[in-house]
Chains A and B, each alone.
Chain A
């Protein structure tokens, strides 16, 4: 089945136009290949999940998409234009919002100011125009209590929420989430899922890397499986979860 899913790129799951297209993107760190001929596409308003063992190259793929790491070869198109050589900042401004797996807050700014930065710069508006929206996002992500607290004093998971909140404040058209549900309790997880669903419902496309599968599968429409830098499967979550490769390589269910 993996074969069938890896047909001619770009592969678009749902209908509509592609917001993001990757074509033959490759990347090596020295001798280590972390991305090999990766091709796929994400439709406007689609939610795509990415899974794969640790070190498969998921976060690296995000870095390639956002431009934090330049690709060795291949091309990346976003909203119809080629962004392969575009710096990360410009990609953000054109509508890509991301979270970092290892949170990168501005530690000496307050949580609210962290959002203001994202809001004012990421969506190119004046501070006064975005402050209300930033406050709303804080309410949505459960950080409103910490609004005036220095980001440096947040706990690990609060930092992860801040990552999400900041990405939202840039008013992205495509939201890239890197492991934001890890370590959440069930209830917290459920409210996180609800938040992401709400964002998705507003028409924002989402790519979400996650090891917490039940959370992931309750949001995404398609799943992509990465293994040693290669796409080994892409398709409906239930199909992917049933695939032999995934069960063996990722879930560790012996067959």
Chain B
């Protein structure tokens, strides 16, 4: 059964249209990767699903309910959490408080508690009383993910979580994904690093200029397909 579905989703900033009829589907317990060039509209898609941008109600269905027009807090209350692009930690709050704020709107029992997040990222327990801004970029990304998990979401949206991270940190962060999947949550990741994306995702959507240009199971896609979907040209023409 589809946990989340978008149907002909469109989105605009003022008179500039960023999404043109996007259809994607996320199954229960599935991990999806969304890839695409800069400005393709990936972040816009995430913002639409998470309720930061308002859309037509029926263009986004969650457990078969239309949620397109709901504001962000209502979306969270239904079980969709987001790790936003650029971490967006709260600088006035320390690490622990940043994590605690994550379940402000949704206090349900589940696998994720302060303790289990500290178990997932032990370094955060050490730095729990530091202001979030005093952490390194990687640690901040861990806080952002932990904060997203605190509400025990059924669906976790992650926008470019490896951006600007040292390779060792990227490895650590992606190392946490199997544990998250084990809890039964579905995950959508937006990722530029195709290799990384292909490694963790069950299925991939590729976007270009506000449209989905390719989708399929990771195993079935060739690099050439992906290139074509990315640029609308063949790999060789580019060089």
Q: Do chains A and B touch in the complex (CB under 8 A)?
A: yes
Is A185 interfacial (CB 8 A cutoff)? yes
Query: A25-56, CB under 8 A of B: which get 1 and which 0?
Result: 00000001000000000000000000111111
**Contact flag A53-B37 (CB < 8 Å), given A184-B192, A185-B230:** no
**Contact flag A185-B168 (CB < 8 Å), given A53-B136, A156-B85, A156-B86:** no
Residues of B within 8 A of A (CB): 13-14, 16, 35-39, 43, 85-86, 134-140, 160, 163-169, 171-172, 192, 194, 227, 230-231, 238-239
Question: A251 to B172, alpha carbons, bound, how many Å?
Answer: 11
Which residues of A sit under 8 angstroms from B136, Cβ to Cβ?
A: 53-56
Do B37 and A185 have beta carbons less than 8 Å apart?
Answer: yes
Most buried by A among B35, B38, B135: B38
Q: Can you list 30 residue pairs at the A/B interface with Cβ under 8 Å? A: A53-B136, A53-B166, A53-B168, A54-B138, A54-B140, A55-B135, A55-B137, A153-B14, A155-B39, A155-B43, A156-B86, A157-B39, A182-B163, A182-B192, A183-B160, A183-B163, A183-B192, A185-B194, A185-B230, A187-B37, A187-B227, A187-B230, A187-B231, A188-B37, A211-B166, A211-B167, A249-B168, A250-B166, A251-B168, A252-B171
Q: B165 touches which one: A54, A156, A186, A251 (CB < 8 A)?
A: A54
Nearest 8 pairs of A and B residues by beta carbon: A55-B136, A252-B168, A54-B137, A157-B38, A54-B136, A54-B138, A53-B166, A155-B39
Do B85 and A250 have beta carbons less than 8 Å apart?
Answer: no
Which residues of A sit under 8 angstroms from B230, Cβ to Cβ?
A: 185, 187
CB distance from A232 to the nearest CB of B (A): 14
Do A158 and B138 have beta carbons less than 8 Å apart?
Answer: no
Question: A56 to B165, alpha carbons, bound, how many Å?
Answer: 12
**Contact flag A52-B166 (CB < 8 Å), given A185-B230, A252-B172:** yes
- Identify which of residues 204-255 in chain A touch chain B, using a CB-to-CB cut-off of 8 Å: 211, 213, 249-252
CB distance from B239 to the nearest CB of A (A): 8
Q: A101 touches which one: B164, B165, B167 (CB < 8 A)?
A: B164
Which residues of A sit under 8 angstroms from B140, Cβ to Cβ?
A: 54
Q: B164 touches which one: A32, A158, A182, A252 (CB < 8 A)?
A: A182
Please give me the residue from chain A that is nearest to B85 by CB atom: A156
Please give me the residue from chain A that is nearest to B192 by CB atom: A183
Beyond known contacts A53-B138, A188-B38: 5 more, CB 8 A cutoff: A153-B13, A156-B43, A158-B38, A183-B160, A252-B166
Do A250 and B38 have beta carbons less than 8 Å apart?
Answer: no
Do B38 and A251 have beta carbons less than 8 Å apart?
Answer: no
Which residues of B sit under 8 angstroms from A251, Cβ to Cβ?
A: 167-168
Is A21 interfacial (CB 8 A cutoff)? no
Do A250 and B168 have beta carbons less than 8 Å apart?
Answer: yes
Do B167 and A213 have beta carbons less than 8 Å apart?
Answer: yes
Which residues of B sit under 8 angstroms from A55, Cβ to Cβ?
A: 135-139
Most buried by B among A179, A184, A211, A251: A211
Most buried by B among A55, A158, A188, A251: A55
Q: A211 touches which one: B37, B85, B139, B165 (CB < 8 A)?
A: B165
Question: A157 to B164, alpha carbons, bound, how many Å?
Answer: 12
- Identify which of residues 96-117 in chain A touch chain B, using a CB-to-CB cut-off of 8 Å: 101
Do A155 and B137 have beta carbons less than 8 Å apart?
Answer: no
Do A187 and B238 have beta carbons less than 8 Å apart?
Answer: yes
Question: A157 to B159, alpha carbons, bound, how many Å?
Answer: 13
Which residues of B sit under 8 angstroms from A187, Cβ to Cβ?
A: 37, 227, 230-231, 238
Which residues of B sit under 8 angstroms from A155, Cβ to Cβ?
A: 38-39, 43
Please give me the residue from chain B that is nearest to A101 by CB atom: B164
**Contact flag A184-B137 (CB < 8 Å), given A211-B164, A211-B166, A250-B166:** no
Question: A155 to B137, alpha carbons, bound, how many Å?
Answer: 21
Please give me the residue from chain B that is nearest to A155 by CB atom: B39
Which residues of A sit under 8 angstroms from B172, Cβ to Cβ?
A: 252
Query: A173-212, CB under 8 A of B: which get 1 and which 0?
Result: 0000001001111111010000000000000000000010
Question: A251 to B85, alpha carbons, bound, how many Å?
Answer: 23
CB distance from B127 to the nearest CB of A (A): 11
Please give me the residue from chain B that is nearest to A146 by CB atom: B39
Which residues of B sit under 8 angstroms from A156, Cβ to Cβ?
A: 38, 43, 85-86
Question: A222 to B14, alpha carbons, bound, how many Å?
Answer: 46
Please give me the residue from chain B that is nearest to A57 by CB atom: B136
Please give me the residue from chain B that is nearest to A157 by CB atom: B38
Which residues of A sit under 8 angstroms from B37, Cβ to Cβ?
A: 185, 187-188
Which residues of A sit under 8 angstroms from B169, Cβ to Cβ?
A: 53-54, 252
Most buried by A among B86, B134, B137, B139: B137
Please give me the residue from chain A that is nearest to B38 by CB atom: A157
